[in-house]
Amino acid sequence: MNKVVLGIFPHADDAASSCGGTLARFAAEGWRVILARVTNDDKDSMDLPSKAETELANTIEFHRAAEIMGAEIVELGYVTDVLGDVNMVGLRERIVYLFRKYRPYAVFTFDPYAHYEPNLDHVRTAQAVEEAFWVSNFHLHYPEHLGQGYQPHCVCERWYFGRVLPDANYAVDITDYFEQKVRALCAHDKMMRNTLHQLQLQLRTWGRRVPAIDQAIEGDLRPMVEGLLRAHNGELAQSFGMAPGHLAEAFRVNRFGFWEEFVQAESEPLPGKPEEMFNRSCFEPGKGPRLFN
């Protein structure tokens, strides 16, 4: 088994904010964690004078965040906030290429079926990953990859996250990795300030202000970022029945879908392959998440 997890993220800060604790945990448990960034984040700043400076600053900060999580980076280089105009089959090909090159056990991305997702970069990336999952298995899709020495590859598990994830079926306890998540997200200084600035502008339209937000934008981001994450990840832990004080990230994990029960009952180990993944307690038959949706 290839102990590789590959996250496909439209933007630099999506990794830390959505699953930073889980990725740090995989890295700490000896997995190779690869963050593929689809776009260049050339517009996501509050006050930098140009796209070039914004792209550079966000890229430097992305490297800092990845280092904190114990991950490495791959860049796809699309322009931010115009994936809606990009050829979807072309984007899918880039993701199939990554699957075949890095041969991940699991892939992380936004849930392609999530509701209330206003960011088209997120939607398009999620859709491209979902299709790449099966297209990557076909030797007649992109045979030029095979000519470069890569083979068809089927990712085993898809770990999907989202702003609103009513079908979440699995939670990872990130209590011990929460500090890494906070530091990684705070490393995205330009993007986090711009996120709060959007809220500040909306509040202004409403005719009000939140002093704590003004202070965070002008000064130390950490108390605001940590407080929001602690509340969100604490609520998720509680909703999955974890003990008070625990923190969690939630996912809709899909493995064999319709086939899950059948393969649990009928499969046997391949010679020479470790049983490590099959024996994970969360995937024991009858326990843990439902993997049919």
Residues in contact with Zn ion by the rule CB under 5 A: 10-11, 14
Nearer to Zn ion, 41 or 157 (CB): 41
In sequence order, the 6+-apart residues with CB closer than 8 A to the CB of 108 are 5, 6, 7, 8, 9, 18, 19, 22, 23, 159, 160, 161, 251
Distance CA 35, CA 218 (A): 30
Q: Is 254 helix (H, G, I), strand (E, B) or coil?
A: strand
Minimum distance of Zn ion from residue 11's CB (angstroms): 3
Minimum distance of Zn ion from residue 80's CB (angstroms): 9
Residue for token pair 């990859």: 145
Minimum distance of Zn ion from residue 56's CB (angstroms): 18
Nearer to Zn ion, 11 or 100 (CB): 11
CB-nearest residue to Zn ion: 11
CB distance 233 to 174 below 8 Å: yes
Nearer to Zn ion, 16 or 96 (CB): 16
Nearer to Zn ion, 125 or 233 (CB): 125
Nearer to Zn ion, 10 or 112 (CB): 10
| Extended beta strands in the chain, E state | 4-9, 32-39, 72-78, 106-110, 157-161, 170-173, 248-254
Residue for token pair 């800060």: 13
Minimal CA–CA distance to 104: which of 8, 245, 201? 8
